Amino acid sequence: MSTPNVGGRRRAALLLLAALGTVGCADGTPSATASAQRALAAAVRVEADGCQERASVGAGSFVAEETVLTVAHVVAGANSVRVTLADGTSTSAQIIAIDRHKDLALLHVESDTAPLPRGSMGVGATGTFIVYRDGAASSMPFRAISFVDIDAPDIDQDGSSMRRGYQIKAAVERGDSGAVLVVDGVATAVVFARSTATGEKAWAVDIGEARSLLDHAGETPVDAGACP
C-alpha cells in the first residue's frame, strides 16, 4: 500500500479500517462522562451490503438532523445500507452524499436521535469515540497528537488526495472506520485509517472537510459508485 505524506514531513503506512444522569461542569462544558454519553447516544454501527460476500462494517454519528457522517470506503458501491442506533434498533439508511477523495459520506436515517454539534479541537485535546466490539458499543479514549495536511490515497487507489486532519493516539481496530471523535460533546473529526508502522496511532479527517457535503446534501439518495 502506498504511504501518505503527512504535513509534507512525516510518512506512515495507513490501513483503512472497514471490516468484513451526569451534569455538565459549572462553566457549561460537559464533564467527561456527559461528553461520552452524548457520543454514545449519537453513534451508530454501519453495515453496507453489495461489494463482498459479507457486509462491510464501520461506524458513524449523527451530526445533523437525520444525518449520519461516516466514511466513504465503508459504503461506496453498496446496494443497501443499515445502521444500528444506540438503543439497538436497526433501520435502513440512504447514501445522500459521498466524497471518494476525502473518504467521507453522509447517510439519511429517519430517526429523532439528537445530533452532535460540530466544531474543532486543539492539539493535545482528549475525548472519546464509539466503536462496536462483539456486537456492543464501547467508548474509547483518544488524544490528538497533531493537526496536519494528510496526503493519502483516495479509496479507489488511483490517486492521492489532500485533506486536513489529525494524527491521534488511540487503540483503533478494523471496523472502527467512520467513528467520530468527540471532545466536550462536540464532533471534531472522523477516523478513517490506522498506522501500520506505529502502534496505537491512527488518522482522522477534520470534520470541516465534510462542510460542503453537509451544506449541499438533501434527502435524495445518490449513486454510491463502484466498490472500492
Beta-bridge partner residues of 143: 126, 169
Residue 142 three-state SS = strand
pTM for this one? 0.87
Choose between 183 and 199: higher pLDDT.
183
The residue behind cell 488526495 is 161
- Give ∠ CA 174-177-179 in degrees, rounded to 5: 120
Side-chain half-sphere exposure of 215, counting CA atoms within 13 A: 6
- Give ∠ CA 117-122-127 in degrees, rounded to 5: 60
Beta-bridge partner residues of 93: 81
Instruction: Write out pLDDT tens, residues 66-76.
Output: 999 999 999 99
DSSP state of 78: -
Provide the grid cell at 105.
459520506
What structural domains does the chain harbor? 5-19+115-208 (2.40.10.10), 43-114+212-216 (2.40.10.10)
Tell me how long the chain is.
228
What pLDDT was estimated at residue 133?
A: 85
Instruction: Write out pLDDT tens, residues 32-56.
Output: 788 889 999 999 999 999 998 899 9
**Cα–chain center distance at 127:** 14
